[in-house]
Amino acid sequence: MPLLHAQALSRSFGSTRALVELTLSIEPGEIVALMGANGAGKSTFVKILSGVLAPDAGSVLFKGRPYAPSVPAEATAAGVVTVHQSTDLVGIPGLTVGDALLLNRFVDRREPFFVSRRRVRREAQAMLREAGFDLPVDRNFAELPAADRQLVAIARALVNRAELLILDEPTASLSAAESRRLYATLLDLKRRGMAILYISHRTADLAALADRVAVLRGGRVVETFARPVDFDAAIETMIGRPLASARPDARRADGDPVFEISGGRLLPGSEPFDLALRRGEVVAITGVLGAGKSRLLSAVFGAGRLAEGAMRLDGARYAPESPREAIAAGVAMAGEDRHRSSLMPAGWPGETIAETISLPHLSRWYPSGFIRPRRERAKAEAAIDRLGIRAAGPTASVWTLSGGNQQKVVLGRWEAEPGRLLLLDEPFQGVDVGARHDIITAIRSRTDRATLIATSDPEEAIEVADRVLTMDHHTIREGRAGAGARRIGEDAR
């Protein structure tokens, strides 16, 4: 008997059918990966299982009994625990890791009213022992790396006697080494009989973990692949069209560099490095979280400073004091975490696709100062066509779009005007394979500027770039094209 069996689940939002008679079962001790392009229905399915949404039709059996949680707490009580992508919400900055582990016990009225530090530490350690994790119980939660926050959430799930663990893109913000640690943990949990529903876009994750891959498209399971999984076939099933091989041959850009750093130091003590980017060239920088990739991009964009060294743009001295000056000089940056760095909140002016694209170009497009919406809408429509953004139209809110389409809007913002250098920090965060492919094509089709991409995923780097560099301890180690890059890719597995 399967642990969980979802039978013909349907759910619509207005005229959009997010789930269409989805049927899927999960056995105890099985890791099932859920793959699907954005909008395929993955998150709707997860929300139904975790008690956030109710299905319009269909039913779920959990351990042979009907299962229809109306609030997340009911799902948790039944043994279905969901660990969300964003783990900031697992604990509270300023409180300790032990507090975070015991957080849901604090709200339990059966627990004693007075809490001693010693008891918190003892019980938190007991929890960790049971889970087999090693975490610093007394550390401030805010100082905990993203990978360890995941573990806090998982440890809490274990104490709640979870039988089905749902993980939503758990490795999105993890480095390769951190991901490997998570894999080991999950495989151990599987051995202990826990079922895991794993949602991810990364083939590396799925290859390491999944017993079975269920591919979602258009709100239903179109195909399931058993181990060993043919990922090319799975990806083609997912996006519904053949996938052209990773990327065309690397171009050899020559001529004078568009952008140069000589003798650059990111931190006063770090090793100096040089960097030169040529016109039409796409260069990726990989490295673990904290290696200094974002710091480098910020410095080039004027949002931060180099500790030392000179930058040149088109041969002229370039030392932007602010993003404003950088943009004026033709340098653009789409920052990491687009929600924080690029988008306006939902329901606030500026949330539409057209307004999102026009924000940096307002003074150029509206020199009189008065907004004429037609102009920015035309620009947005052009971006929607060129990048294949799936949206109702230029005045649709970016919050109605999937992650991949949001990222395309952000890219469209900086492609709306010509530039000399485009900086992209983790442009594939929360972007599915299909949209990633579109974005890569769009990035590579522009030859009038240089593009510098920072990504912690070496596979992405190889896929998008002509040249891959690695960053380590705040300095660039020049990777040779081809062979060097390939080797980095293998490290990730």
Partner 1 sequence: MTTAHDDTASRPGAGEHLREFLRAGAVFILLFAMVVGFTAAQPAFININNLMSILQAVSVVAILGAGVTVTLAVGGFDLSIGAVAASSVMAASYVMIVWGLGAFATIPLVLLLGAAIGFVNAFLIVRLKVPDLLATLSMMFLLTGLQLIPTAGRSISPGLILPDGTTATGAYDPLFLLVGRSSLFGIVPLPVVIMGVVAVLLFVLTERTRIGRLLFATGGNELATRLAGGPTDRLKTLAYVISGTLASLGGIVVAARVGRGDVSSGASLLMDSVAAALIGFAVLGLRRPNVFGTIVGAVFVGVLLNGLTMLNAPYYAQDFVKGAVLVGALALTYGVARGRA
Stretch that binds partner 1, among 13-21, 139-147, 308-316, 462-470 (CB under 8 A): 13-21
- The smaller minimum CB distance to partner 1, of residues 288 and 303, is found at 303
- The smaller minimum CB distance to partner 1, of residues 248 and 350, is found at 350
Least Å from the CB of residue 360 to partner 1: 4
Rounded to whole angstroms, the Cα distance separating 380 from 431 reads 20
Sketch the per residue contact string, 393 through 432, with partner 1: x for CB under 8 A, - otherwise: --xxx---------------x-------------------
| Range list of H helices, 102-239 | 103-106, 117-131, 146-159, 176-191, 203-209, 231-239
Rounded to whole angstroms, the Cα distance separating 240 from 223 reads 11
Q: Are strands 31-36 and 212-217 parallel, antiparallel or unpaired?
A: parallel
Q: Are strands 16-26 and 282-286 parallel, antiparallel or unpaired?
A: unpaired
Least Å from the CB of residue 352 to partner 1: 7
The residue length of the chain stands at: 493
Least Å from the CB of residue 149 to partner 1: 22
Angle subtended at Cα 176 by Cα 173 and Cα 180, rounded to the nearest 5 degrees = 105
Give every CB contact of residue 212 below 8 A, 6+ residues apart in sequence. Answer: 30, 31, 32, 33, 224, 225, 226, 227
Query: Which tokens in the block code for residue 437?
Result: 């492919």
User: Could you give the 3-state DSSP secondary structure of residue 34?
Assistant: strand
Stretch that binds partner 1, among 10-18, 93-101, 112-120, 124-132 (CB under 8 A): 10-18
Answer yes or no whether residue 114 interacts with partner 1 by CB under 8 A. no
Rounded to whole angstroms, the Cα distance separating 91 from 269 reads 34
Query: Which tokens in the block code for residue 349?
Result: 């002016």
Largest Cα–Cα separation, the chain: 73
The answer, yes or no, to whether the previous bond of 228 is cis (omega within 30 of 0) is yes
Count the site residues for partner 1 by CB under 8 A: 39
Angle subtended at Cα 98 by Cα 95 and Cα 104, rounded to the nearest 5 degrees = 90
Query: Which tokens in the block code for residue 478?
Result: 């020049």
Answer yes or no whether residue 355 interacts with partner 1 by CB under 8 A. yes
- The smaller minimum CB distance to partner 1, of residues 257 and 403, is found at 403
Rounded to whole angstroms, the Cα distance separating 130 from 78 reads 20
Amino acid type, 203:
T
Nearest to 71 by CA among 100, 47, 42: 47
- The smaller minimum CB distance to partner 1, of residues 108 and 321, is found at 321
Least Å from the CB of residue 43 to partner 1: 13
Sketch the per residue contact string, 361 through 380, with partner 1: x for CB under 8 A, - otherwise: -xx--x--xxx-x-------
- DSSP label at residue 342: T
Among 333, 422, 431, 471, binds partner 1 (CB under 8 A): 333
Sketch the per residue contact string, 280 through 319, with partner 1: x for CB under 8 A, - otherwise: ---------------------x-x----------------
User: Could you give the 3-state DSSP secondary structure of residue 208?
Assistant: helix
Answer yes or no whether residue 321 interacts with partner 1 by CB under 8 A. no
Answer yes or no whether residue 95 interacts with partner 1 by CB under 8 A. no
Least Å from the CB of residue 412 to partner 1: 13
Stretch that binds partner 1, among 64-72, 151-159, 202-210, 321-329 (CB under 8 A): 321-329
Least Å from the CB of residue 148 to partner 1: 26
Least Å from the CB of residue 369 to partner 1: 5
Least Å from the CB of residue 338 to partner 1: 9
Least Å from the CB of residue 303 to partner 1: 7
Least Å from the CB of residue 329 to partner 1: 11
Query: Which tokens in the block code for residue 153?
Result: 């959430």
Among 20, 243, 344, 442, binds partner 1 (CB under 8 A): 344
Answer yes or no whether residue 71 interacts with partner 1 by CB under 8 A. no
Amino acid type, 72:
P
Radius of gyration of the chain (CA): 24
Give every CB contact of residue 51 below 8 A, 6+ residues apart in sequence. Answer: 69, 70, 71, 72, 73, 74, 75
Answer yes or no whether residue 28 interacts with partner 1 by CB under 8 A. no
Rounded to whole angstroms, the Cα distance separating 285 from 45 reads 35
Among 64, 348, 480, 482, binds partner 1 (CB under 8 A): 348
Nearest to 453 by CA among 181, 247, 262: 247
Among 64, 290, 345, 482, binds partner 1 (CB under 8 A): 345
Answer yes or no whether residue 218 interacts with partner 1 by CB under 8 A. no
- The smaller minimum CB distance to partner 1, of residues 227 and 364, is found at 364
Stretch that binds partner 1, among 249-257, 304-312, 352-360, 453-461 (CB under 8 A): 352-360
Answer yes or no whether residue 72 interacts with partner 1 by CB under 8 A. no
Rounded to whole angstroms, the Cα distance separating 320 from 328 reads 9
Rounded to whole angstroms, the Cα distance separating 448 from 338 reads 25
Handedness of CA 444, 448, 454, 458 (dihedral sign): positive
Least Å from the CB of residue 331 to partner 1: 10
- The smaller minimum CB distance to partner 1, of residues 334 and 488, is found at 334
377-396: which residues touch partner 1 (CB under 8 A)?
395-396
- The smaller minimum CB distance to partner 1, of residues 123 and 355, is found at 355
Binding site for partner 1 (CB under 8 A): 13-15, 301, 303, 322-324, 326-328, 333, 335, 340-345, 347-352, 355, 359-360, 362-363, 366, 369-371, 373, 395-397, 413
